[in-house]
């Protein structure tokens, strides 16, 4: 029995029933990592194997700590982990070992997870291509010459290659949806506030980014989401919720709006829309009505709001990097661009961006009176060569920023909607693609239930594992 092919939920239950030992699980995952990680480079700062086996043996003797008891996990390298190197992909922090866990890591550790290392990410999480000067590039398990996406590229690649059973990701601008699509796994961006951050820096205006779960099936997504979710009393706007294994939704009578390329506003590489539509046909076969929808809001307005608010937040949070000449010299140009854009903003520009955001939220709320979900592609390009920093153009349309090619994720991110990245199969090029299933704010359980119905009809991750 290959323990690395078993779902996190089943594996956790087997450990709880003592049908398998934590040390046995650790040995299986260590063997898979030793075999696959040198080529993929998904897991970085990997801990000593003997230390991991010793910790797993101790877990075998201990009482159950929680739903992740004894499961090997690698935490995204944007999350501080006590005693485990955390670099943020930056040479400034190449040797940083935190003395405390961030809240996300603390919750997973309290649930019994054994941290084996970190998952690779772009420097500061900027860009959907996981490369940095500290750990190098993460490669796609389905084609080692291609990117795994980002910023949760290490998490997605680790899941796809069976080096992890479940993984945490984070998502500001598609950072777990894009790599999920590129690596044929699931990624869930929850309603903003459901998975809280740490009470550091600004916590009132910084409402664009969130952490969330990634997995090879929906039940495992819910398992990890239940660990991560719940209010942080020190941070505002929190939401409380508990998540059980989702029962598949009855899709009969449900209406899904298909937004395609937003009326041509979002450039798409050939085959992306056609591949996305294969996922829509699955929903139709399950009984849902799919309705093509004209753009419900001007795309350029959404982009204006997005780049303004994003730059404002980056400039505020990372101004210290910029003001320190030595650190500035070690920082990637994309991050410096974000900071410089933010430092030039006026209060009026930020206010106008927030007004656009508010109007889009109201318009989207109206859509959810008519539709149960909205669907968009999860990416605008197929996984691209690892040598690229980012796609410079799509179908001859020049990308005017380092992240314009990811614009399709903005509608959900800007207003904090739950968005589930579903695998949509493989194109004629043999590369994976996915779609975003987007629900109204707070409808996380309903989105996961629809995702479970889809998963039971498709199960792309299990049926099409990479051949490393």
List active site positions.
76, 151, 175
The dihedral region occupied by 70, where left means phi > 0, alpha psi between -120 and 50, and beta the remainder, is left
- Radius of gyration of the chain from its Cα atoms, rounded to whole angstroms: 21
Reported residue count of the chain is 468
227 C-beta neighbours (distance < 10 Å), count: 23
User: Counting beta carbons within 10 angstroms of the beta carbon of residue 354, is it exposed (0 to 12), middle (13 to 18) or buried (19 or more)?
Assistant: middle
The position carrying tokens 């996922």 is 279
Task: Report the C-alpha gap between 66 and 8 in whole angstroms.
Answer: 13
Which of helix, strand or coil describes residue 116?
Answer: strand
Choose among 116, 102, 100: nearest CA to 68: 116
Contact (Cβ atoms closer than 8 angstroms) between residue 33 and residue 3: no
Task: Report the C-alpha gap between 214 and 121 in whole angstroms.
Answer: 15
Q: Which residues contact 107 (CB under 8 A, 6 or more apart)?
A: 227, 228
Task: Report the C-alpha gap between 418 and 438 in whole angstroms.
Answer: 6
């Amino acid at each position: 029995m290959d323990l690395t092919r078993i779902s996190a939920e089943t594996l956790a239950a087997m450990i709880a029933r003592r049908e398998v030992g934590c040390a046995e699980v650790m040995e299986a995952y260590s063997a898979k990592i030793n075999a696959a990680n040198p080529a993929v480079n998904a897991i970085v700062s990997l801990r000593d194997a003997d230390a991991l086996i010793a910790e797993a043996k101790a877990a075998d003797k201990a009482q159950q700590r929680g739903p992740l008891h004894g499961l090997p996990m690698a935490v995204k390298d944007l999350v501080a982990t006590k005693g485990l190197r955390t670099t943020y992909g930056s040479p400034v922090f190449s040797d940083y070992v935190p003395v405390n866990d961030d809240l996300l890591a603390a919750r997973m550790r309290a649930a019994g997870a054994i941290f084996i290392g970190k998952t690779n990410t772009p420097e500061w999480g900027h860009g959907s291509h996981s490369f940095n000067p500290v750990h190098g590039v993460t490669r796609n398990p389905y084609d080692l010459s291609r990117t795994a996406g980002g910023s949760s590229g290490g998490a997605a690649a680790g899941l796809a290659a069976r080096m992890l059973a479940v993984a945490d990701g984070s998502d500001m601008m598609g950072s777990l949806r894009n790599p999920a699509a590129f690596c044929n796994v699931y990624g869930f961006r929850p309603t903003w506030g459901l998975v809280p951050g740490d009470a550091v820096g600004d916590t009132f205006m910084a409402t664009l980014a969130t952490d969330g779960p990634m997995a090879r099936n929906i039940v495992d997504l819910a398992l990890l989401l239940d660990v991560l979710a719940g209010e942080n009393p020190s941070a505002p706007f929190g939401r409380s919720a508990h998540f059980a294994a989702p029962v598949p939704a009855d899709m009969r009578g449900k209406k899904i709006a298909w937004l395609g390329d937003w009326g041509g506003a979002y450039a798409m590489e050939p085959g992306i829309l056609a591949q996305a539509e294969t996922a829509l046909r699955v929903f139709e076969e399950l009984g849902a009505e799919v309705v093509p929808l004209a753009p419900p809001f001007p795309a350029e307005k959404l982009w204006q709001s997005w780049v303004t608010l994003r730059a404002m937040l980056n400039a505020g949070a990372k101004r210290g990097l910029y003001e320190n000449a030595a650190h500035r010299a070690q920082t990637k140009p994309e991050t410096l661009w974000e900071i410089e854009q933010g430092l030039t903003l006026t209060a009026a520009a930020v206010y106008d961006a927030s007004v656009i955001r508010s109007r889009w939220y109201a318009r989207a709320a109206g859509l959810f009176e008519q539709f149960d979900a909205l669907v968009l592609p999860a990416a605008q390009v197929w996984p691209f060569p690892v040598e690229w920093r980012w796609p410079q153009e799509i179908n001859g349309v020049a990308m005017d920023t380092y992240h314009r090619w990811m614009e399709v994720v903005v509608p959900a991110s800007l207003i904090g909607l739950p968005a589930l990245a579903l695998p949509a199969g493989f194109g004629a090029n043999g590369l994976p693609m996915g779609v975003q299933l987007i629900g109204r704010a707070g409808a996380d359980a309903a989105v996961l239930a629809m995702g479970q119905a889809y998963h039971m009809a498709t199960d792309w991750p299990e049926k099409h594992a990479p051949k490393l």
